[in-house]
Amino acid sequence: MSYCQVIVDITSEDVDRVFTYRVPKGMELCPGMRVHVPFGRMNRVEGVVVEMAEDCDLPPARVRDVTDTLEDYPAILPSMLDLAKRIKETSFCTLAQALRLMIPAQMRGERIRSRTREYAVLTVDQDIWAQALASQKRAPRRAQALQALMQAPQGEMPMDELKAQAGDCRQSVLALQELGFVRLERRESLRSPYGAMEQLAQHDPQLTPQQEEVLSALLPAIEAGKGAFLLYGVTGSGKTEVFIRAVRRAAQMGRTAIVLVPEIALTPQMVMWFRSRFGEDAAVLHSRLSPGERYDEWRRIRRGDVRVVIGARSAIFAPLENVGLIIIDEEHEQSYIADNNPRYDARELARMRCEREGAALLLASATPSMRSFAMAGRGDLTLLEMLRRVKNRPMPQVHIVDMRDELKKGNRSVFSGALLDGLRACMDAGRQAILFVNRRGYSTFVSCRSCGYTVSCTQCDVSMTYHMSEHALRCHYCGQEAQVPTVCPECGSRYIKFFGTGTQRVEEEVHRYFPDIPVLRMDNDTTRTKDAHETILSAFRRGEARILVGTQMIAKGLDFPNVTMVGIVAADAMLKLPDYRSAERTFQLLTQVAGRAGRAEYPGEVYLQTYDPEHYAVEAASRQDYRAFYAEEMQRRKRALYPPYTLIARILIESGSEDKAQAAAQAAMRQMEAFLDRRAYLRKYIAALRVMPCPVKRIKGKSRWQVTLKIVDKPICQEAVGKMSEIAQAPVEGCLCVCQVNPSSMM
């Protein structure tokens, strides 16, 4: 008799353990396979086999049979089963929740399956074809179908194509099958998400000495199957080429690789590069794939058809076997953190996978995260540097423009005189320009000049954003729309003013100054449809527009040889956000945006408009001086006890009732205090423990409260973080509670 241990796909805590089932005769099972099992009063629940067992201590009457299997292969690889267990431990979630990360969501509940195509396959040998045909003289339809198959390569054809040639011949083909001439079979057919992709040059460029040097450190680690690196390479230093060579080396050794990129807007270019060099050997996983495409890519990966997987955060769960290298590009990006359900940091999971599977890890950025650079300082990561651009091209020259002076001069336009001159010079030279508008923190809101009233969303504690094209207000948190008032609802004044500089406003201004120059805009509004990113970026690449106006989406990774000028409309827009990382994010963003200029033959110029020119983040970014910024920022973090010196855990509580949210937050606080009374030795590691409303007090009509814990980042302190998580998991009537650790947003 054989048994198996199953985790059922129910995420409640009470069933967060394995259950034993009997394996019926003839059913082949192994760990990682998905099964249907009866569970309690439910007679069909999905589960994952985590272990096989020869016998079982339970009385036979209490053990039930596995009903059936969902696939005839383990959907969850052994290494991924391990990873799920680690996630359960570090994220304080159930194993079922962790396992859900490992397969496309639509595979659960069988909402999606392989798409198959029916083939008709000739089964008679060529020397008796004539005979077979002759036997069907009286059945012209059958003869026609046979003839078509005889002319097809390998004597086979998909049924839909056969029907196109020979008419509706299904009955005839079935008859031919009866006669033993033909066999009908279903084969999996995979949807391809690469439809209209541009192809780039496929040849290998000669490596630069810097690239050679970095690779000579990296390749032995790939061969040895261990080592973790941080590649600090300035913008335009040629990091992508390093990735490609490293992945290829891994492939030559018969191993596979995962390349993580932060955002969808970045993916098309990176995907394009990899696809043009690796062809069908590369798979993409990103959030814009249709469920079918996602499933098919997952299948290709799982079947071992691909050598390299490129994708956003969740591609760290790609079911690749024999991983030899994991690369995380733009490693400083917040998007590598999933805040909850369950929380994980793709960078940490990458490290675990590498250790578990004997692979090398490469984090890369022009603006490494404080945490990674500190790890490199301690020797936990090996630092590799590329401090010059490819072919010794100069770094862009950055001009800081003090916008307070512009105001004094009476210039109320969004553009300074200097930026306009630079843009004009760039256009006159026949080149392209990028104008960057910081979306985050730079609200485009409507406000009354007499009394200061601003239009806020009725559901969320934020001002609504003005959309010029529809002349309407929209809330960016919940999507609610409102009319633009003509008189102030508070004081009746007619002096209503539109504040701020959105992408639309910038686009209009560009039209005003350069009526004949074609402009493209890339922001949330213009990229709602599936292929919008690719369409806009490739139009810009082809030179169909000379100026690209955009938000964060255009800040990173893009490589347009003809772009020689970058204008940063408001550099300091997010310095004022209530988040300890606002200086770091400002520095990263400015450096990355500036790095889009002058990446090919022609040198680049950057105009950085700011109201805060002396700020160290702005200043260091203008010199592209990562180390100077890092030194200053680390001192500040140390003084204020912020990560990486500490970690921040928060219990976030949302409720339709302000009172309930507040009461729940206060109750959570009391529990935490009581816990610390019992664990007095933890007190000395705690920098702060507070209960208060969140900076954004309301979203979608829900009041938001938080308990925040700032504690030294030491193993012993995990206990306190675990307690925060435990408190958050206890259900509170009328409230939604989650625990986040170093959340990507503190709002």
List interacting residues with ligand ADP (CB under 6 A). 205-208, 211, 233, 235-241, 390, 559, 599
By beta-carbon proximity to Zn ion, the closer residue of 445 and 580 is 445
CA angle 419, 420, 425 (to 5 degrees): 100
Closest approach of ligand ADP to the CB of residue 557, in Å = 7
Paired strand residues for 436: 550, 568
Which of Zn ion, ligand ADP, none does residue 236 bind (CB under 5 to 8 Å by kind)? ligand ADP
Cβ 701 to Zn ion shortest distance, Å = 8
**Under the criterion CB under 5 A, does residue 696 sit at the interface with Zn ion?**
no
Question: Exposed/middle/buried for 277, CB within 10 Å: 0-12, 13-18, 19+?
Answer: buried
Min dist CB 492 to ligand ADP, Å, is 54
- Does 448 interact with Zn ion (rule: CB under 5 A)? yes
Q: Which is nearer to ligand ADP, 206 or 483 (CB)?
A: 206
Residue 491 Cβ vs Zn ion, minimum distance, rounded to whole Å: 3
Q: Does 453 bind Zn ion (CB under 5 A)?
A: yes
Quick one: what does residue 490 bind among Zn ion, ligand ADP, none, with the CB cut-off 5 to 8 Å set by partner type?
Zn ion
- Please report how close the Cβ of residue 268 comes to ligand ADP at its closest, in angstroms: 14
Q: Which of 210, 227, 217, 142 is nearest to 181 (CA)?
A: 142
Q: Pick the piece of the chain touching Zn ion (CB under 5 A) from 131-139, 250-258, 468-476, 623-631.
A: 468-476
Q: How far apart are CA 197 and CA 195, in angstroms?
A: 6
Which contiguous run of DSSP H or E holds residue 698? strand 686-699
Among 39, 278, 336, 477, binds Zn ion (CB under 5 A): 477
List 7, 99, 301, 475, residue binding Zn ion (CB under 5 A):
475
- The C-alpha atoms of residue 482 and residue 446 are separated, in whole angstroms, by 11
The entry of ligand ADP, Zn ion, none near residue 208 (CB within 5 to 8 angstroms by kind) is: ligand ADP
Interatomic CA distance for residues 200 and 518, integer angstroms? 24
Q: Which is nearer to ligand ADP, 148 or 258 (CB)?
A: 258
**368: exposed, middle or buried (C-beta count within 10 Å: 0-12, 13-18, 19+)?**
buried
Query: In the complex with ligand ADP, which residue's Cβ is closer, 81 or 214?
Result: 214
Q: With contact defined as beta carbons under 8 Å apart, do 478 and 486 qualify?
A: no
499 binds Zn ion per the rule CB under 5 A? no
Between 366 and 672, name the residue whose CB sits nearer to ligand ADP: 366
Q: Which of 100, 95, 104, 30 is nearest to 66 (CA)?
A: 30
Which of ligand ADP, Zn ion, none does residue 207 bind to, with CB < 5 to 8 Å depending on kind?
ligand ADP
Which region, judged by CB under 5 A, interacts with Zn ion, from 113-121, 207-215, 487-495, 674-682? 487-495
Task: Show Cβ contacts of residue 543 under 8 Å, excluding neighbours closer than 6 positions.
Answer: 432, 562
- Between 82 and 461, name the residue whose CB sits nearer to Zn ion: 461
Q: In a 10 Å sphere around its CB, with 0-12 CB exposed, 13-18 middle and 19+ buried, how is residue 201 labelled?
A: exposed
Q: How many amino acids of this chain bind Zn ion (CB under 5 A)?
A: 15
487 binding Zn ion? (CB under 5 A): no
Bridge partners of residue 323, in order along the sequence: 256
Query: Amino acid identity, residue 88?
Result: K
Partner that binds at residue 450, options ligand ADP, Zn ion, none, CB closer than 5 to 8 Å by kind: Zn ion
Q: How many CB atoms lie within 10 A of CB 451?
A: 12
Query: Under a CB-based contact definition with an 8 Å cutoff, are residues 34 and 46 in contact?
Result: yes
Do the Cβ atoms of 252 and 402 come closer than 8 Å? no
| Interaction between residue 451 and Zn ion (CB under 5 A) | yes
Q: How far is CA 24 from CA 1, 28, 51, 71, 351, in A?
A: 8, 9, 16, 16, 39
- Residue of 65, 305, 421, 490 interacting with Zn ion (CB under 5 A): 490
Of ligand ADP, Zn ion, none, which one does residue 239 interact with (CB within 5 to 8 Å by kind)? ligand ADP
In the three-class reduction of DSSP (H, G, I as helix; E, B as strand; rest coil), residue 536 is classed as: helix
Residue 488 interacts, among ligand ADP, Zn ion, none and using kind-specific CB cut-offs from 5 to 8 Å, with Zn ion
Given the complex with ligand ADP, which of 155 and 238 has the nearer CB atom? 238
Kindly tell me which of 237 and 655 has the beta carbon lying closer to ligand ADP.
237
Among the listed residues 249, 254, 242, 240, the one whose alpha carbon sits nearest the alpha carbon of residue 221: 249
**340 interacts with, out of Zn ion, ligand ADP, none, CB within 5 to 8 A per kind:** none
User: In whole angstroms, how close is the CB of 273 to ligand ADP at the nearest point?
Assistant: 8
Select from ligand ADP, Zn ion, none the partner in contact with residue 453, using the beta carbon and a kind-dependent cut-off of 5 to 8 Å. Answer: Zn ion
Q: Shortest Cβ distance from residue 374 to Zn ion (Å)? A: 38
Beta bridge partners of 46: 36
Alpha-carbon span 666 to 660, nearest angstrom:
10
Beta carbon of residue 446, minimum distance to Zn ion (angstroms, whole number): 11
Is the CB of 327 or the CB of 337 nearer to ligand ADP? 327
- Residue 362 or 460: the one with the smaller Cβ distance to Zn ion is 460
CA distance 499 to 577: 18
- State the DSSP string of 571-594: TTTTTTSSSTTHHHHHHHHHHHHH
We find the least distance from the C-beta atom of residue 702 to Zn ion, in angstroms, to be 10
In the sheet that holds 360-365, the strands lie side by side as: 282-285, 308-311, 256-260, 323-328, 360-365, 228-233, 382-386
493 belongs to the binding site for Zn ion (CB under 5 A): yes
Residues 6+ apart with CB under 8 A from 500: 442, 443, 444, 445, 466
Minimal distance in Å, beta carbon 692 to Zn ion?
21
* Among 67, 276, 335, 450, interactor with Zn ion by CB under 5 A: 450
Residues lying near Zn ion in the complex (CB under 5 A) are found at: 448, 450-451, 453, 457, 459-460, 475, 477-478, 480, 488, 490-491, 493
